[in-house]
Amino acid sequence: MKLVVGLGNPGASYARNRHNIGFMAVDAIAAAHGFGPWRSKFQGQIAEGRLGPEKVLLLKPGTYMNLSGDSVQAAVQFYKLEPGDVIVLHDELDLPSGRIRVKTGGGTAGHNGIRSIGAHVGPDFTRVRIGIGHPGDKRLVTNHVLGDFAKAEAEDLAALLDGIADGAPALAAGDHPGFLNAVARRLSPPKPPKPPRAPEPVAPPVAEEDADPRSPLQKLIDRFR
């Protein structure tokens, strides 16, 4: 069994924040793969289903970001999971918007949700780092992270979430390249082949004008003279 955690802050006022891209991602997975309804458990919201042959529990912690580990630990202990069974999807300031990286273990990069989970279950879980871009000035980071995605970003955001949902079975199976390829196909779909060029029209042959002005009858008469 895999525990797939999306990080975010609970409440309608945070729903479209960049910091809530993890919530958006697991919502997209649940909708695309026919998971059961969301219900309250483990200090959060859970939905159960399958990704390929793998039984999967989706979790959205309801504890606010900096206490996400409380919710994750409760699910891990209940199902007797190992850190390697846990996959966490979260926002990443250090990646441009729309970029995704997957890694297992490592540091927290200052992410409060990742820090909390690591403190509760150890560092050896898989992280799906979803880029939200950096505003370019440290003083603007809080407003950027807790700000909503702009309307101009809506199309790219939808393609990104569709790609995450497409690749979720590969992610659950540990096929990280397969997961990333599925996302890339949504973000940069192959261009349709160009239609073959129509052949250039060829002018019909023009009969050469007969240089002899005589009519066919006159030619016949002259032949027997």
Catalytic positions, written as ranges: 19
- Helical residues (DSSP H) of 35-129, grouped into ranges: 68-79, 112-121
Q: Could you tell me the maximum CA-CA distance found in the chain, to the nearest angstrom?
A: 121
| Integer Cα distance of 150 and 64 in angstroms | 23
Residues 6 or more apart in contact with residue 206 via CB below 8 angstroms: none
Phi–psi pair at 53, nearest 5 degrees: -80, -5
Residues 6 or more apart in contact with residue 99 via CB below 8 angstroms: 131
Q: What's the order of all strands across the beta sheet hosting 44-51?
A: 39-41, 44-51, 54-61, 2-6, 86-92, 126-131, 100-104
